[in-house]
Structure 1
Amino acid sequence: MQDIQILPVDETKQPVQDESQLVFGKEFTNRMFVMEYKTGQGWHSPRIQPYGPFSLDPAALVLHYAQEIFEGLKAFRREDGEIALFRPRDNFERFNLSARRMCMPELDVDLCLKALRELLKLEQNWVPKSEGTSLYIRPTMIATEPVLGVKPADEYLFYIILSPVAAYYKGGLKPVKIWVSDEYVRVPSGGTGEAKTGGNYASSLYASALAAQKGYDQVLWLDSVERKYVEEVGSMNICFLYDGKIVTSPLSGSILNGITRRSILTLVKEMGYEVEERALTIDEILDGAANGRLTEAFGTGTAAVVSPVGHFTYREREVDLGNGEAGELTMKLYNTLTGIQYGRCEDKYNWVETL
């Protein structure tokens, strides 16, 4: 394993003192981890250096052909001051799956974990202390070779940046309103849906903007072929409590294999629920909400953990779900998973690593 060089940093910038003023993705720490790749040489020059801009050639392939992937995970400050990571190895292993799909070089997971730990130790004062806050971690890889031509690049840049973030739910879990898109799809069947790549998110922006204009919080995406099977909500996986079972879309290649999704499915099985991985139709969702077969729905993802759903609109039909509050199971899952992350609940699955 390569040694990681630690470069000097000016630490005049200090963490925000009023953590209630934190905004997601706006504030960054003093340091970042960086290394480069070149075909024939491999990954080289791993280092922790001052946070700052990169210099890219205008012909860098990422700018023209979107060869880019990223991950998102968090570090948590526990009551005793200890800093915890939630399933970080899973994130870097998924990063490599994304790299493979996008024809990019894979990483040494152990080196990445070592680099992240070193970076967090140096920046530990940036992990916020207030209830529900965390340090968001963004590993990213971009193609930097300066050449015009559609091909996998021969040069890449990998980096990790850190951003302190406020509690996602400042006023408690509130159900979101969902607009179902049947005209626009997130990714086509056989596309890059299972990779965490920027193009997937760029393609979601237009429909998300339309939903926001209509007063909705999120978009529910349907499959790209028949436009009737539920896939994901916003940038999250989605689960339904349907006929007393947990039903969620299967990992068929068009949706992300969410780490929060995996964790939630493990927890609900432990709680005694049967899990059914099948694609519900939008009619099943709307009819189920109306006739009582569907009792709860929630998105799952790193940022929100779980995001309860209280309303669906599809074409001219609107249905409400629940009583305007997060459902009992949704609340239990949120409290259990965040309890594991912050050290309030037992970690039976060894999901948490501490510094």
Structure 2
Amino acid sequence: MKTFESYKLKDIEFKNRIVLPPMCMYSADENGMAKMFHFVHYTERAIGGAGLIILEATAIAPNGRISDNDLGIWDDSHIEGLKTIAMSVKDNGSKVAIQLAHAGRKCEAKADFIVAPSDISFSEKYRQPKALSKEEIKEIIKGFKDAASRADKAEFDMIEIHGAHGYLINEFLSPLANKREDEYGGSTENRVRFLNEILDEIKKVWPSSKPIGLRVSASDYAEGGIDIDEMIKIVNLIKDKVDIIHVSSGAVVNTRIKTYPGYQVKFAEEIKNNCKIPTIAVGLIDKFDMVEEILQNERADMVALGRELLRNPYWTLQEAKKNGIELEFPKQYERSFK
């Protein structure tokens, strides 16, 4: 069964195709420091058998947090706590990644000001952001580079750049949020420039043996915004700088999205086929047969189960037992699976 086959990116080999996607836990202290909750939460999912654990959106700047209780990686003081989590996850058999993020205009943390490509609020409930100057853009790019360096020092196997869900990189990519008239706005190539420059700087400090992932929103679900054809064009412009695309959708503007089990899988499939790059599929997936169908039909290379792994950290082990898969169960719990 393909779900339990190993998968390799660069020098990192995942023992199976199951991914815990990044999901905000809102449990850090006000300085972005990891707490015991994070250690327990991520370690338990590793014990539960997921091949890849991706830590939640971790801010590269204080005003890049989604909330006051998001994890941070903007300072060297964050490294120790993050490293403790990473080492525990690896000690329990999973590979571990961290998502590097900047919330942009969707920052709800306490901050003197928030930033975006243009001075357009996400909604009337959000503050108006300050449009970034070119000098400030360069500072944020350096922030991503420094965060990647810290992630390496914390011994993560992989990093994922958050370019989805209406946060800063997604804001630059989408013409609904990016109204700039300089080299960072207008054409697709210009709107991708910010992401391209982030990736260029990250690759100077991130080991070439370790993979880089990118989370994208494949559709804005709104007229004049990104659709799958535009996202394919975007991915083709940066695919030589990343190793896998984690495909989500929506959230750059408020709009109604029709959701159902697997509603984003078609986006992962189209990006995989049209861009010739590995993908991670996600989107209300919780059944083993669905995971296996996605992988066997080569619609994606890995599958992320968010809510299901929140509900049941041991989903992977339980499905292995149910389907007669021989694998090494955690010795502490082995008697319960025999």
TM superposition score normalised by structure 2: 0.27
Identify, as 1 or 2, the structure richer in strand: 1
Q: Which has the larger radius of gyration?
A: 1
TM superposition score normalised by structure 1: 0.26
